[in-house]
Structure 1
Amino acid sequence: MEYITITKENIEQEHICCALSKNNDIQVSSKKKWMKECLDDGLVFIKSKERGKCFIEYIPAQNAWIPIIAKDYMYINCLWVSGSLKGHGYANDLLDACIRDSQAKGMKGICILSSAKKKPFLADPKFLKYKGFSISDESDNGISLWHLSFEETALPIFKACAKHPHINEKGYVLYYTNQCPFNGKYVPLLVECANKHNIDFKTVKLTSKKEAQNAPTPITNYALFYNGNYLTNEQMNEKKFLKLINQ
């Protein structure tokens, strides 16, 4: 498999692997705009040359859009291999590339979000264990911070706002960023759905690194709360949202 690293020079010509390819699609344009801003902060996006969901996205932890303390660590935003590209060792290729690059840049380890049991849109804990990762911290809602250290150093931890996720608002409140391209399409659909069904629903878009690093949730690209309590990080269409509410 050949891989391509996204840069400011090629980002407009390259697809970003989430089954989306047209730059005029709000999902693509919002994601690429976010990526361009983060490239100056050390964001790295490596994807398969073959079209499909096969990529890794990582950034120095001090610049990650997530409430953690992880000095001299690289944080992996997303490692995704699925569909026909799964089962060929490409996830190993991508993770190994991240490790080599992180070591070359003087990082002391890498970290990523997951959970004790597999959850949607999070790294598979079985794969992380297989690759030598272990849990360094865990939030009250079961989201874990996993690490792979290259040398003895302080382990990554959640900030208090992420370790104890809670908000003082009633109704449904969705925190999100443009990091996930699907938000460009599905967040407006939920707003429309909530208005149509008179559901108490509010969105909070995190538009800066500082906001994301102090958010009341360990997952910042999509986190839904109800009456102050965290519910899920799973992106939803109208059908799934109404099903959740009825439950």
Structure 2
Amino acid sequence: MLEIVDVTADNVHEKGFFCMRSKPKSEGYKRKLSWLLKRFEEGLKLKVIEEDGQPKGFIEYLPIEHAWRTVEGENYLFIHCLWIVGRSKGKGYGKLLLNECLDDARRSHKSGVAIMTSSQTWLADQQYFIKNGFELVDHAPPSFELLVHRFDDKPHPVFIHGWEDRAAAYSEGITVFASDQCPYIYDAIATILEVAEERNLQANVIHLESAQNAKQAVSAYGVFNVTFNGKLLTYHPVHKRELNKLLDQALQL
């Protein structure tokens, strides 16, 4: 049996939030849980699709005014994540979840739904959304796109440009900008600090406490960014070997 479950403050302790479901005692999981409980109060929706009681994917979205990405707009819903796991892909589960969000937006008299995509990261590819009525409206380096599904002719959302200038303000050593929106970020911070210590590099962690903090991030992916000497180094968690490689390349520039 297929079922779409609304995860709320009342049942999130039972249902979890899909990611790191097998590690509920980990610090990353606990931080994401705390983050979610605050975001539910801001209108965040989390829906998990289950097949015979087993979670196969999820969608997380909220009003764009509270989106943790460098985007701005009015009266739109914004999708943080849409993910279907492994062998469950290709069965139409993603479209079912996407339609839940679109229907929610229409019921709420929103002007549309927006999402950030990328062909070079873990994020969904734009072609999937274009096939489902979205259109490309903005780009962000190095590989992000902003897509919208419009219901009316009101102004669509845009990226908040100026990433390089914002990064340049952090000109000494490594600076990590991190939130608890993704449960994998906590371990990523530990890896970065370990590498910084091994290489005798100055490192600083700035914890993003609100969507407004995230909207002023140094890349379009507002919830996790790492700069080195004033330039973006990475916007996704990396292993020690990859991080060392990125630092070596940056030092050669």
Question: SS of the counterpart of 1:152?
Answer: coil
Question: SS of the counterpart of 1:18?
Answer: coil
Instruction: Report the equivalent of 1:233.
Output: 235
Opposite residue 72 of structure 1, the aligned amino acid is N
Query: What percentage of residue pairs aligned between the two structures are identical?
Result: 26
Opposite residue 146 of structure 1, the aligned amino acid is L
Consecutive unaligned residues of structure 2, counting only runs of 5 or more, are none
Instruction: Find 1:192's aligned residue among 178, 194, 204.
Output: 194
Matched-pair contact (CA < 8 Å) for 1:165–1:230: no
The separation in 2 between residues aligned to 1:180 and 1:34, in whole angstroms, is: 9
Instruction: Report the equivalent of 1:9.
Output: 10
Residue by residue, what CA displacement relative to the aligned partner does 1:17-61 show, whole Å, maximum 9, x if unpaired? 124334321121111100000001000000123445511000000
Aligned pairs for 1:7-86 within 5 A: 7-49=8-50, 50-52=53-55, 54-86=57-89
Consecutive unaligned residues of structure 1, counting only runs of 5 or more, are none
Question: SS of the counterpart of 2:136?
Answer: strand
Matched-pair contact (CA < 8 Å) for 2:140–2:159: yes
Deviation for aligned residue 1:198: 1.6
Q: CA, structure 1 residues 187+119, in 2 after alignment: closer, same or farther (shift >3 Å)?
A: same
Instruction: Report the equivalent of 1:126.
Output: 127
Question: SS of the counterpart of 2:226?
Answer: strand
Instruction: Report the equivalent of 1:173.
Output: 175
Q: CA, structure 1 residues 124+186, in 2 after alignment: closer, same or farther (shift >3 Å)?
A: same
Q: CA, structure 1 residues 71+164, in 2 after alignment: closer, same or farther (shift >3 Å)?
A: farther
Opposite residue 144 of structure 2, the aligned amino acid is I
Opposite residue 56 of structure 1, the aligned amino acid is I
Question: SS of the counterpart of 1:13?
Answer: helix
Opposite residue 27 of structure 1, the aligned amino acid is G
Instruction: Report the equivalent of 1:141.
Output: 142
The separation in 1 between residues aligned to 2:20 and 2:152, in whole angstroms, is: 37
The separation in 2 between residues aligned to 1:162 and 1:135, in whole angstroms, is: 20
Matched-pair contact (CA < 8 Å) for 1:42–1:60: yes
Matched-pair contact (CA < 8 Å) for 1:17–1:51: no
Residue by residue, what CA displacement relative to the aligned partner does 1:54-80 show, whole Å, maximum 9, x if unpaired? 110000001112232211100001111
Aligned pairs for 1:149-164 within 5 A: 149-162=150-163
The separation in 1 between residues aligned to 2:189 and 2:140, in whole angstroms, is: 25
Aligned residues: 245
The separation in 2 between residues aligned to 1:8 and 1:181, in whole angstroms, is: 17
Opposite residue 223 of structure 1, the aligned amino acid is N
The separation in 2 between residues aligned to 1:180 and 1:113, in whole angstroms, is: 15
Matched-pair contact (CA < 8 Å) for 2:163–2:217: yes
The separation in 2 between residues aligned to 1:203 and 1:53, in whole angstroms, is: 34
The separation in 2 between residues aligned to 1:111 and 1:88, in whole angstroms, is: 23
Opposite residue 105 of structure 2, the aligned amino acid is S
Residue by residue, what CA displacement relative to the aligned partner does 1:157-203 show, whole Å, maximum 9, x if unpaired? 12244596633223332212100000122212221221122234332
TM-score (norm 1): 0.90
RMSD of aligned Cα (Å): 2.0
Instruction: Report the equivalent of 2:224.
Output: 222
Instruction: Find 2:91's aligned residue among 85, 88, 93.
Output: 88
The separation in 2 between residues aligned to 1:246 and 1:164, in whole angstroms, is: 23
